[in-house]
Structure 1
Amino acid sequence: MEKIFIARLMPVALSLSALFLAGCHEDAATHSTAPPSAVPLAAMVIPVCVNGECLVLDQKGSVLVNGDNTYAVALSVPLNSTFIYAEDGQWNVANADGTQVIKPAFTEGLRLLTPGFFGFERDGKWGVMDQQGNEVQPPAYDDIYPGGGTAQGQYIVYGLDDKYGLLSAEGHVITAPLFDSLLTHKDSALAGGWVSAERDGQNWAINLQTRELKSVGFDKFVEYANEHFVVSQGRKKGLADASNTLLTELKYDWMGVPGDGLVAFKENFDSLCGYLDFKGQVAIAPSYDACEVFGHKGALVKAVGDDGNKGKYGFLARSGEWLIQPSFDSAEPAVHSPLGMLTSVPGFTQTGNLQNMFTVYFGLFDTDKGVELFKPEYAQIGVLTPDRFVFAKPDSPKKTITFLGSANQLATLGLMDAKGKVLIEPGQYVALTLDKSGRFIRAWTDTSRLATTALYDLNGKLLVPAHWQEVVIDEQRGALFAYELEGTPSDETRSLRALYSLDGTPGFETRTVGCDVQQVIDGSGKVLWPTDPEHLCGESDDATETQQQG
């Protein structure tokens, strides 16, 4: 089941991890079709906690409630016109400037669910409320938490009498509490909007959009692409359509990613591979050592070697004829990962040629057009969009990173367009990833969980500098939120540290001054709080320790 996030206030010690003082853990599910810079900042109320004190700002960095208040802590979630704070062991909802308590002392237990919705506890039961404190669901559940593969999710799971049901992102009932387990194996939007469930040994699929509930003959979604699923029951896989109707038997040990009407398969792990069409019929007989994803023109497949030689990859048409004779030493999915966990992107495959026993150079092949886009001349290369690519040249600067306790040298990555024009020079980042909106690039300075990350637009313009560990994109509200992460996964603190508009204009930021005191400044650099940090120098260590307990 998904991880549960709880903010519980104990009557005596009002301390809790800043993990629960978080905003959205993932980017907003709704994205504007306008260019990012054209979306203005929406009106917001934003608590920011520093040095054990919490002030409240608006989206422009203007102070609504200064840090000289009686709040034990404030929930650092950007809301529309309210904020949530704790006092005397209870959570409260107040209006924007704190002059009116809209929902006083309503719970000791609070949970972040979906954007703008919270779980609250009363008499040992959990309900759902919106950001105004209105009860969407009365407290009637034994358990409640976010679902959808993200910490602040795309739907809500509730438990009652040892069974589980689903609520929508807005807290409305999708299913009764019928199931023994519920699971999204990846972002539900990337799984066709489906959630898998199990009840009394029977497998079910639930569609979050249509609310269809369907008995199915498989227990897991493996891949979703080209409006088709690869699904599995135990270790055996099969193909299903977008409605989760099986198109094949669950009899294959391996299946690839569905692509342009075909999906690769192996009957057994040591079998040769071929391709099925989307009716489940063999379209290309299993005659190859390895089979990549099909594009419009064809796919890169590995010929069977002869006389003890390893086979090479060529470009194969749907007819089974070679469009380009085998010449590449390797072919892999084209989304780059510094740790080797490559994923597919429609229309592209990464190619590779051995330079010597220890060195491979990589290129990119366009499987939709049937042309070699970049020759294998790069130390690393991968696709972000059809005209934006990450790359490292053989002479690009390297960084030493530690993975699983051992030091490794990684080439730093840059960004280029389809003509090879460099938009971000290699030298600082070991990973560049496309945000799921398709409009922003995340740039990671290290591979560790607490590495700092920057945000760029697709033209290589820096929007958020690499000062903090997490950047949350909220296109609907025109905002970029930067968070500082500290601690271990089981006891992580997460603190809002900056707000930017989508074009990178700062609304407010925090900086460290003096004796490691956090100071909040507005977009023009004007100090907001504390104005005199020196008096906190003797208190900062104690305040930080108190804020991070929980």
Structure 2
Amino acid sequence: MRRLKILLFTVLLVSTSINVNASSSYLAIDADYSGTGSFSEGLAEVSNNSKWGYIDTEGNLKIPFCYDITTPFRKGRALVVKDGKRIIIDKNGVEYTPSDIDTCYQILSGFIYGLEDAYFGFDRDNKKGLMDKYGKKIIPSIYEDFQSFHDGLVVAYDTDEDENTQYTVYDKHGNIIVPEGLYDYINDYNEGLTSVTKDNQYAVIDTEGNVVIPFGEYSSIGTFYEGLASAKKNGKRGFINSKGEIIVPFIYDYMWLFNDGFTYVKKNKKYGLIDKKGNEVIPCEYDSLDYLGGSYENIVLVGKGGQESYFIDDPYLNDRINTSNKKFGFINTEGKNVTPITYDYAELFYNGFAKVAIGGNGGSGKTNYCCGKFGFIDLSGKEVVPLIYDHVGEFSSYLYKGKIKGTVPVSIGGYGSVYSYKGGRWGYVDEKGNKITELIYDEVYDFHEGYGKVLKDGKYGFVDINGDEVIPCIYSQARDFQGGLAMVVYDGRGEIIDINGNEIFPEDFAILRPYKEGYARVSTDGSKFGYVDNPSEQVKDVHMSLKEGKYDGTKTITLSCDTEGAQIYYSIKYNKNYISFDDVYGWKYRPYLGPIVLNQKANITAYAVKKGMKESKSVTSNYEIIHNILPTDEKPFYNKVPYNMYADLLNNFGLFNGTAKGYELDKSGTRVEGLVMFLRLIGEEKEALESLEEHPFTDVPKWADRYVAYAYSKGYTNGVSETTFGSNSIIDAKSYFTFLLRALNYSDKDGDFKWNNSIEYAVYIDIISNEDYDFYQKEFKRAEIVKASYNTLFTKIKNTEKTLYDILREKGIIKL
């Protein structure tokens, strides 16, 4: 049973050995520090047991030991904590934070579009503002939050005493572009334009706040992409340009955003494809259609026949729709057939090939398709990998010795649906369908740098492009080759090997990770840390530093390595048991991406690696933390561990905002709040806010209108009656866990679980513990909602190896 889910950032990795002393000959900066951080912009964080400062690459102390917490420099600024308060410093140690704010936080560049300088958010009295890198307040701290930054503008919003949301638009200098209260809603800017609403009417304004498309013309206007925005008039949809001129007539029931000049539309329950002039290059005569633009070869997947599933109206999911008796084929964006509509299963083209199958049965969706014979077709529609396999992986193309090569894993003899295939023997074929290896492996993986990782009898090895097993299957764990080196685990010890299987680093260096700006952190005894450079191609040792956590009874562990480009990996052990990373990813070690927060006794082992270098030494530290997560009485610590921590983590991810009064974790959640969390967890909040759908309910607050309409149109939820959604009804544990399980692709409709046993099923798939289950029977408020939501982020999606956290990072929704 997984117990800890309080890691700030998670990924995956590999194993290594226990602490080994560093050879002093490798030290570029003496191991005089109790903790260190990676070099960033020429400076690194270091600790002298109690306080933190910064050194340069010569080991000179540039900023004295006076901070409780430090962070790497970014764009000439670092966020530090001094006397319990967050402040901004420059590389000379000059402080720039106003004295009258409660806290500040760095806005990562990935969140800001069109803003080149560093900007920082700050809070005062639970209200947010924005300041520049010199501490000058750009936007006052009077807002509940900000929407995304686009086109050099940001939309700030707050809720008034009548619970109406008020919107204001600022430019990057703090000038008000659109004053508060002018509109009922302001969408995010894109391409210099945004839609606004007033009294249920839509208009469009530009970056100066000028109305370019007046109110009264359209009942809905979406976001501009490729110069056009979808709009609705008299119950039908079309596209307009930035002048409000009709480009695509209002004859469609549904349409998506333009992508590389095309988009799909729905008319009379049939799908087609149009160009930016409104020409139907593929007529609306298909029961399903999927198109994702040039990255998918500009070829459209169409389907005919079959019985519509409950989410058939969502074009975005058409590649998952594969119902019984439906047949699939391909058409290009010129309207020419690539293949006939003959396949029982098909996926979009990728890397020049498309996966197809014949026979079998489709069930109610892509994940349920099974028992057919799989192969691949090329862009001409030719079957290059014959349709004879029980299962196939993804086609990988790569450059090998100056030539483009392709490989695909194939299997015969297994059983199960597309995403639950088990058993069978695996091997490889090439881009022409020629066999590379015999089908003799338990598992095979994508090729990297001309070598494919294979698993046989529980051990890993590697084959080359000729199918020769050049490195025998003797390793308990292994990573793909990168830069001619691969990380493996043999007899419990992490090693780096070359393409001949030779170990690169001596046994006294058991940790390998990349350098950061030419320096890596090392430890001589597990408690003192220094830096090594790269003259001997040795990755510097990992530094492990301990700081008091933000909450009572917690510790924050920071890992660092001074080798530029090195990657740290770590594992955590509680009460002699490793944390169940392998429950999520299949590995006990994971890449380190940020501070680790602990709320109980733990042992942490870490090491660092870099391509083409020897692995750094492993360092291990034990941390004694005494804290009861829940006190003996029934009332939880709403303002202590773990609830506020979970709320902070979700807030950092952009998934939980709280209210104008804060997180309010001691209050019950509502049905509409649960729905919003569901949409955020599956990464569809943006689509919801931009949707043009409608709903029949009369009790939905304005702020939630788009969410409910979108979810209702997708079949994610229904009302409590034909005209009532039950927006303010308290959401209980069973109802919320139903949302969470659906987010993980478990279906109460298909019988995976039922509403009345959703909490038990959440225990079964390890979202929550037995202790949580007992507690949730008695108490389920916003505190429990944030904890359950956070745990769900790191639970595997049904029949996949990915988590919602992985998906949200891939979509760019979570930036951390």
Structure 1 length as normaliser, TM-score?
Answer: 0.54
Residue 126 of structure 2 is aligned to residue 155 of structure 1: no
Q: Whose helix fraction is larger, Structure 1's or Structure 2's? A: 2
For residue 293 of structure 1, give the secondary structure of its aligned residue in structure 2: coil
CA separation in 1, counterparts of 2:303 and 2:338?
Answer: 12
Aligned residue in 2 for 1:87: 48
For residue 128 of structure 1, give the secondary structure of its aligned residue in structure 2: strand
Equivalent in 118, 134, 151 of residue 192 of structure 1? 151
Aligned residue in 2 for 1:353: 303
For residue 394 of structure 1, give the secondary structure of its aligned residue in structure 2: strand
CA pair 527-280 structure 1, distance change in 2 beyond 3 A: closer
Aligned residue in 2 for 1:325: 283
CA separation in 1, counterparts of 2:563 and 2:446?
Answer: 13
For structure 1, which segment, 346-355 or 512-521, has the greater mean C-alpha deviation from structure 2 after superposition?
A: 512-521
CA separation in 2, counterparts of 1:494 and 1:252?
Answer: 54
Equivalent in 519, 526, 538 of residue 614 of structure 2? 526
Is residue 238–residue 249 contact of structure 2 (8 Å, CA) maintained in 1? yes
Equivalent in 128, 133, 146 of residue 183 of structure 1? 146
Paired AA for residue 264 in structure 1: S
How many Å apart are 1:118 and its aligned residue?
Answer: 2.3
Q: In the TM superposition, what whole-angstrom CA distance separates every residue of 1:312-337 from its partner, at most 9, and x where no partner exists?
A: 3243663x5544433433345617xx
How many Å apart are 1:239 and its aligned residue?
Answer: 3.5
How many Å apart are 1:144 and its aligned residue?
Answer: 0.4
Paired AA for residue 213 in structure 1: I
Any residues of structure 2 matched to 1:471-510 within 5 Å, and which?
Answer: none
Equivalent in 72, 78, 85 of residue 118 of structure 1? 78
Bigger Rg over Cα: 2
Any residues of structure 2 matched to 1:52-71 within 5 Å, and which?
Answer: 63-65=27-29, 68-71=31-34
CA pair 521-181 structure 1, distance change in 2 beyond 3 A: closer
For residue 53 of structure 2, give the secondary structure of its aligned residue in structure 1: strand
How many Å apart are 1:393 and its aligned residue?
Answer: 0.4
Is residue 129–residue 143 contact of structure 2 (8 Å, CA) maintained in 1? no
CA separation in 2, counterparts of 1:51 and 1:103?
Answer: 33
CA pair 242-195 structure 1, distance change in 2 beyond 3 A: same
CA separation in 1, counterparts of 2:486 and 2:8?
Answer: 20
Paired AA for residue 136 in structure 2: V
Aligned residue in 1 for 2:204: 239
Is residue 43–residue 55 contact of structure 2 (8 Å, CA) maintained in 1? yes
Any residues of structure 2 matched to 1:529-540 within 5 Å, and which?
Answer: 529=617, 540=620
Aligned residue in 1 for 2:356: 394
Is residue 272–residue 286 contact of structure 2 (8 Å, CA) maintained in 1? yes
Equivalent in 60, 65, 90 of residue 105 of structure 1? 65
Aligned residue in 2 for 1:286: 250
Is residue 262–residue 276 contact of structure 1 (8 Å, CA) maintained in 2? yes
For residue 249 of structure 1, give the secondary structure of its aligned residue in structure 2: coil
Paired AA for residue 328 in structure 1: Y
Aligned residue in 1 for 2:104: 144
CA separation in 2, counterparts of 1:55 and 1:272?
Answer: 71
CA pair 328-476 structure 1, distance change in 2 beyond 3 A: farther
Q: In the TM superposition, what whole-angstrom CA distance separates every residue of 1:70-117 from its partner, at most 9, and x where no partner exists?
A: 41x323x4313221123332222223353x332223222446785553
Residue 130 of structure 2 is aligned to residue 166 of structure 1: yes
Aligned residue in 2 for 1:379: 346
Is residue 143–residue 160 contact of structure 1 (8 Å, CA) maintained in 2? yes
Is residue 153–residue 189 contact of structure 2 (8 Å, CA) maintained in 1? no
Q: In the TM superposition, what whole-angstrom CA distance separates every residue of 1:398-436 from its partner, at most 9, and x where no partner exists?
A: xxxxxxxx999998544569xxx98664559x9xxxxxx
Is residue 498–residue 510 contact of structure 1 (8 Å, CA) maintained in 2? no
Any residues of structure 2 matched to 1:355-504 within 5 Å, and which?
Answer: 356=306, 357-358=323-324, 361=328, 363=330, 365-366=332-333, 370=334, 379-381=346-348, 389=351, 393-394=355-356, 412-414=393-395, 425-427=407-409
CA separation in 2, counterparts of 1:423 and 1:275?
Answer: 42
How many Å apart are 1:240 and its aligned residue?
Answer: 3.5
CA pair 64-261 structure 1, distance change in 2 beyond 3 A: same
Aligned residue in 2 for 1:543: 622
CA pair 51-496 structure 1, distance change in 2 beyond 3 A: farther
Is residue 128–residue 137 contact of structure 1 (8 Å, CA) maintained in 2? yes
Aligned residue in 2 for 1:277: 241
For residue 622 of structure 2, give the secondary structure of its aligned residue in structure 1: helix
Paired AA for residue 303 in structure 1: K
How many Å apart are 1:371 and its aligned residue?
Answer: 5.4
Aligned residue in 1 for 2:177: 214
CA separation in 1, counterparts of 2:208 and 2:352?
Answer: 35
CA separation in 1, counterparts of 2:7 and 2:183?
Answer: 40
Is residue 414–residue 425 contact of structure 1 (8 Å, CA) maintained in 2? yes
Q: In the TM superposition, what whole-angstrom CA distance separates every residue of 1:452-484 from its partner, at most 9, and x where no partner exists?
A: x99999xx998589989xxxx99999xxx9x9x
Aligned residue in 2 for 1:228: 193
Is residue 273–residue 284 contact of structure 2 (8 Å, CA) maintained in 1? yes
CA separation in 1, counterparts of 2:393 and 2:562?
Answer: 26
Paired AA for residue 617 in structure 2: W
Is residue 288–residue 303 contact of structure 1 (8 Å, CA) maintained in 2? yes
Is residue 515–residue 563 contact of structure 2 (8 Å, CA) maintained in 1? no
Paired AA for residue 179 in structure 1: I
Structure 2 length as normaliser, TM-score?
Answer: 0.39
CA pair 462-316 structure 1, distance change in 2 beyond 3 A: same
For structure 1, which segment, 221-230 or 84-93, has the greater mean C-alpha deviation from structure 2 after superposition?
A: 221-230
For residue 239 of structure 1, give the secondary structure of its aligned residue in structure 2: strand
For residue 164 of structure 1, give the secondary structure of its aligned residue in structure 2: strand
Aligned residue in 1 for 2:215: 249
CA pair 523-349 structure 1, distance change in 2 beyond 3 A: closer
How many Å apart are 1:211 and its aligned residue?
Answer: 5.0
Q: Which runs of 5+ in 1 are unaligned?
A: 1-16, 26-49, 305-309, 336-343, 383-387, 397-405, 431-452, 484-489, 502-506, 531-535
CA separation in 2, counterparts of 1:244 and 1:213?
Answer: 9
Q: In the TM superposition, what whole-angstrom CA distance separates every residue of 1:234-266 from its partner, at most 9, and x where no partner exists?
A: 987653434454434388665444344432223
CA separation in 2, counterparts of 1:325 and 1:273?
Answer: 16
What is the RMSD of the two structures over their aligned residues, measured on CA atoms? 6.0
Is residue 113–residue 145 contact of structure 1 (8 Å, CA) maintained in 2? no
Paired AA for residue 381 in structure 1: L
CA pair 322-276 structure 1, distance change in 2 beyond 3 A: same
CA separation in 2, counterparts of 1:172 and 1:462?
Answer: 46
Is residue 516–residue 561 contact of structure 2 (8 Å, CA) maintained in 1? no
Q: What percent identity do the matched residue pairs reach? A: 15
Aligned residue in 1 for 2:634: none
Paired AA for residue 229 in structure 2: V
CA pair 197-142 structure 1, distance change in 2 beyond 3 A: same
Aligned residue in 2 for 1:334: 292
- Number of positions where the alignment pairs a residue of Structure 1 with one of Structure 2: 405
For residue 313 of structure 1, give the secondary structure of its aligned residue in structure 2: strand
Aligned residue in 2 for 1:338: none
Aligned residue in 2 for 1:266: 232
How many Å apart are 1:125 and its aligned residue?
Answer: 4.2
Aligned residue in 1 for 2:274: 315
